[in-house]
Structure 1
Amino acid sequence: MSHGKQFTLYTHKGGPNGWKVAFVLTELGLTYESIYLDFNKGEHKAPEYTKYNPNGRIPTLIDHRNNDFTVWESNAVITYLVEKYDTNHKISAVTPEDKILQLQWLLFQASGQGPYLGQAIWFKVYHSEKVPSAIERYQKETLRVLSVLESVLSQQEWLVGGKCSVADISFVSWNNSAFGVIVADIDGFDLAKEYPAVHAWHQKLMARDAIKSVWATRTSLQ
């Protein structure tokens, strides 16, 4: 790549998963160039992209200082970044036990939070017809995920190791979708009242310099 930065990040202006990776790159002070794929034009399914990511989704990261090593699936990308570049464990676990707990939460985010919230947004915003039962189902699943987080965060400040880590950061962009779109119209819903620990945790995450900077970029692109 001619941009001179260490990484190329193939992503999307709105999709939450690419922004998770941008958070981690920025937290670690790593330089990257974002290429925003246009889904309406099918750029994520074009051969020029699927040669890097056969799944045809985002994100995909190329590390130009590591022989153009290429990795896709957002939490695999995040794990690669902290394993290789977070040598001081700024935002990653240290002990073998905490590394497993970190992986546990990354897997829960990828299998529990992301898919259910993604379906909630699909049926609320993009589906060609309103299906109230589907919207209700995925709103309830969103609340269930928040309840899981609340049960842990009401007992401790961060998910793993007593500090902010990628386990926490991986939830940020999808949580913003949850709070802004999925549960916003539930009658009487009050995040701070019903999930106070999640609310406080999310506010601390959004106040981090790297996350604020990246989210401001996202906002400017909408």
Structure 2
Amino acid sequence: MIVLEELGLDYETVYLNLSTNEIKDEKYTKYNPNGRIPTLVDHKNNDFVVWELGAIISYVTEKYGPTRTISFEKFEDKMHMLQWLFFQASGQGPYYGQASWFMLFASEKIPSAIVRYQKEIIRILGVLESVLSKQRWLVGEKFSAADVSFITWNHAAFRALVKDFEGFNLEKDFPSVNRWHNEMLSRPAVGKVFVKWQAW
């Protein structure tokens, strides 16, 4: 949603009830056979369907971002953006998601699993810090969809997943990530989407 807002696109959000496993219903899996969120149905392009966050971001920025406000024209920058989208999909998403599951939703608390995934969150933050300590944004010295892809899971991590982990201190331990995250939170598109989620 943040990418859609940043590009000024019209869209309709359909929320699914995860507690009733609505994402596994055939009404949804006909669009996304993996039964996960998000999924995009582009009514302006013959109801073209694409799922997986990185793929959705790539699709939207390529098709509807001709001015490249949050993407790139240069081939090498495009590949670096794709690199971060893959890192988000293979690193941040799964590890933060597992931490969330074991900490907040699992019927049985397994301390070793919780600590494992909290440590992975710290590791991912370390990777981000190592890059963001040298540059303002992840790619090409400008805010882009690469940055956007990390914001929601980071927000969840800072508020719940690692806030009490072994003296975790975002400002002290990861100052560049903290600066980056707060810069993104201050963007109008991000604020607008977060307000919608809180209302839901």
TM-score range for the pair, normalised by the shorter chain length: over 0.9
The answer for the alignment partner of 1:173 in structure 2 is 152
Q: Deviations over 1:122-148 (max 9, x none)?
A: 111111111111111111000000000
1:210 to 168, 177, 189: 189
1:141 to 109, 120, 123: 120
2:6 to 14, 19, 27: 27
1:194 maps to a residue whose letter is D
- 1:90 maps onto 2:73 in alignment: no
1: distance between equivalents of 2:31 and 2:106?
29
2: distance between equivalents of 1:48 and 1:190?
43
Identity of aligned residues (%): 56
TM-superposed CA distance for 1:40, in Å, is: 2.4
The answer for the alignment partner of 2:82 in structure 1 is 103
The answer for the alignment partner of 2:49 in structure 1 is 70
Q: What is the SS of the residue equivalent to 1:62?
A: strand
Q: Deviations over 1:26-60 (max 9, x none)?
A: 11111111111112223211111111111111111
CA RMSD of superposed structures (Å): 0.8
2:83 maps to a residue whose letter is Q
Structure 2 runs not aligned, ≥5 long: none
1:69 maps to a residue whose letter is F
Contact kept, 8 Å, 1:93 with 1:160, in 2: the verdict is no
1:83 maps to a residue whose letter is E
Q: What is the SS of the residue equivalent to 1:188?
A: coil
2: distance between equivalents of 1:48 and 1:127?
26
Task: Identify which of structures 1 and 2 has the higher relative contact order when contacts are C-alpha pairs closer than 8 Å and 6+ apart.
Answer: 1
The answer for the alignment partner of 1:44 in structure 2 is 23
Q: Deviations over 1:130-184 (max 9, x none)?
A: 1111111111000000000000000000000110000001000000011011111
Q: Count residues in correspondence.
A: 200
Could you tell me the TM-score, scaled by structure 1's length? 0.88
Contact kept, 8 Å, 1:23 with 1:214, in 2: the verdict is yes
